[in-house]
Amino acid sequence: MPSKRYKQKATIFMVSAIVILIACIYLNFNPIMIFTEFHYVRDLLGEMFMPNYQILYENTSTGISILQTLSMAFLGTLYGGLIAFVLAFLAATNTMPYKAVRIITQVFVSMLRVIPALVVVLVFVIAVGPGSFSGVLTLVIVTIGSFAKLFTEIIENVESGPGEAIFSVGASRLQMIRYSIIPQIMPSFIANLLYAFDVNMRAAIGLGIFGGGGIGFQLQMAKSVLHYKDVTALITIIIILVILVEKLSDYLRKRILGEGKLG
C-alpha cells in the first residue's frame, strides 16, 4: 500500500503536468518546433555575423547612445536614491514619531513597488515624449520603489545605544538622526546605491527599447530596419558595458562595506 505522502506527491505531479500541458496547448507552444524549425535560427545567425563594429566610429550616435544610457542610470539612481533615503526616514519607526505619516509613506512606497517599470516608461513616453528624459523619470520611480523599503529596514535595525545616549543629554530627534543614525547607515546606503546603479544600468537598456532613449533605442532601430549585423555589434557592446559596470560596482561596494566594517 503506498503511503499517504506518496499519493500526495503523485497527485501534485499529475496536476502540475496537466497544468503545463494545458498552458502549452493554449499558447500553441510546441517544443519540438525548436528542432524542426531550427533552420530559421541558423539563417538568422548567418545574417547576424560578422558584427558590424564600424558603427562605433562611423555612426556618432552610437557613442552618444552609450553616454545617454550611462547618464540615465546615474541620474535615475542619484535622484531616486536620495528621494528613497528621505522617504525611509519618514517611514521608519525610530525616526518618525507620527504614525499617520509613517503609514502614508509606507503605502506610497508600496504603490510604487507594484507598478511595473514598462508601465511607468509607457506613461512617461506619452506624457513627456520618447527619449532619455522619460527613461530617467522611470528609473527614478523604480529606484524609489525598490530601495525606500530597504533603506527603511536598514534605519530601523541600527544600534539604539548611541541614539539613546544622545537623547539622554538633551539632543533633539534631528540631532539624534544626524549624529547617531546617519553615520551608521551611510556605508550601507552608498553600497546599495552602487548596486542600484548596476541594476538601473541593465534596466536603462531595456527601457530604451520602449522609447526610453539610449543604446536600447539604438538597438531597437537597428532591428526594425533589419540591420542584423549592427544588432550583433550593439549586443556585444551592451554585454561589455554591463560587465564593466557590474565589476566596478562590485569593487566599490566591497571597498565601502569593508571600510565601514573597519570603522
Q: What is the pLDDT of residues 53-73, one digit of tens each?
A: 788 777 778 888 888 899 999
User: Within 13 Å, how many C-alpha atoms sit on residue 194's CB side?
Assistant: 19
Place 2 in a pLDDT band, splitting at 50, 70 and 90.
Answer: low
Of 65, 71, 74, which Cα lies nearest the Cα of 216?
A: 65
Find all residues with CB under 8 Å of 214, minimum gap 6, and list them: 65, 66, 68, 69, 72, 132, 135, 204, 205, 207, 208
Per-residue pLDDT tens digits for 84-119? 999 999 998 888 888 899 999 999 999 998 888 888
Nine-digit cell at 84? 528613497
How many Å apart are CA 66 and CA 62, to the nearest integer? 6
Of 192, 168, 2, 7, which Cα lies nearest the Cα of 88?
A: 192
Q: Over 80: is that where the pLDDT of 226 sits?
A: no
Q: Over 90: is that where the pLDDT of 245 sits?
A: no
Minimum mean pLDDT among 34-38, 95-99, 133-137: which range?
34-38
| pLDDT score of 103 | 93
| pLDDT score of 262 | 37
Decide if 54 contacts 238 (C-beta within 8 A). Answer: no
Decide if 135 contacts 142 (C-beta within 8 A). Answer: no
Per-residue pLDDT tens digits for 153-193? 999 888 777 666 776 666 677 777 777 788 888 888 888 88
Please give the share of the chain, as a percent, with pLDDT higher than 70: 90
Nine-digit cell at 190? 552608498
- Check residue 220 and report its DSSP letter: H
Nine-digit cell at 92? 521608519
Decide if 127 contacts 204 (C-beta within 8 A). Answer: no
**C-alpha angle with apex 74: 128 to 259, nearest 5 degrees?**
155
**Residue for cell digits 543604446?**
215
**Residue for cell digits 539604539?**
160
- The 10 Å Cβ neighbour count of residue 27 is 8
More confident residue, 125 or 176: 125
User: Within 13 Å, how many C-alpha atoms sit on residue 101's CB side?
Assistant: 13
Q: Over 50: is that where the pLDDT of 260 sits?
A: no
| pLDDT score of 181 | 82
Nine-digit cell at 71? 547618464
